[in-house]
Amino acid sequence: MNLQLHKIPTNYYQSTKSYLQTYTTAFLITLLMIFSISTDHASAEVNICHNPPKNLSNFSPQIPPRKALNYPFFDVNDSKRTIADYKGLGIVLNFWATWCPPCIREMPDLIHLKEYVKKDNITILALSVDRGGPTKIMRFLEKKGIKGLDILIDKKSKLAQKSGVQGLPVTILIDSRGLERGRITGIAPWDEPDVIDFVRRCISPIKN
């Protein structure tokens, strides 16, 4: 049998090689573009809480953001709560005590902040490290005329200690995914517009 074989053109392999080179180059460029976009997005995620206002110079960003501790704290009825209970919300977690004058001084501003940012799905958690129980704390706040914050208790300061809190007040900003974005050591002017805008930009799940 006389088989008729079609002769492969001499430029066939060269054309195929050229095609593969072009395809490979295009594929690599696409990968680089995807990587660049991902890197830019990650960078934006990391940098979202950078550049605090000048009146918040005691803010330290957490780089990279890390998971906030899911250690229990308690309400006045001794019901256990954790950060996970507030999933989907931005959290301003303030550690304070009745024996801490700076803590008391900033509380009215925190109450104002609570009103300003509630529409942004941000909640304020004022976590007392007092050891006298809820009755003592409630009486103290009533005497000071401080209203508008839920009373939460960090028994034996365990969450504060595990979170690296070494003095009071300390406020940790936690985003809606439960990631710590940074913390403020000392008091802050929580009711000033640029600070309110910074809190929104940093941890609100609602992005404009």
pLDDT at 79 over 90: yes
Q: Give me the pLDDT at residue 11, please.
A: 57
Q: Give me the pLDDT at residue 3, please.
A: 41
Q: Give me the pLDDT at residue 18, please.
A: 60
87 vs 207, residue with greater confidence: 87
**What's the average model confidence in pLDDT over 99-106?**
97
pLDDT at 177 over 50: yes
Q: How confident is the model at residue 184 (pLDDT cuts 50, 70, 90)?
A: very high
d(CA 201, CA 196): 9
Least confidently predicted of 41-45, 63-67, 108-112: 41-45
For residue 102, whether the previous peptide bond is cis, meaning omega lies within 30 degrees of 0, is no
Tens digits of residue pLDDT in 121-176 = 999 999 999 998 899 999 999 999 999 998 899 999 999 999 999 999 999 999 99
**What's the average model confidence in pLDDT over 28-35?**
50
d(CA 157, CA 95): 9
Place of tokens 């910074």: 198
Average pLDDT, the chain: 84
Q: What is the dihedral of CA 180, 185, 186, 190, to 10 degrees?
A: -30
Cβ–Cβ under 8 Å, residues 183 and 94: no
pLDDT at 115 over 70: yes
d(CA 85, CA 107): 23
pLDDT at 36 over 50: no
pLDDT at 199 over 80: yes
Q: Give me the pLDDT at residue 30, please.
A: 52
Considering the entire predicted model, what is its pTM?
0.78
Tens digits of residue pLDDT in 37-47 = 333 333 445 56
Place of tokens 């009215």: 108
pLDDT at 70 over 80: yes
Q: Give me the pLDDT at residue 39, please.
A: 35
Sheet holding 59-67, edge to edge: 59-67, 179-185, 170-174, 90-96, 122-128, 152-153, 73-75, 80-81
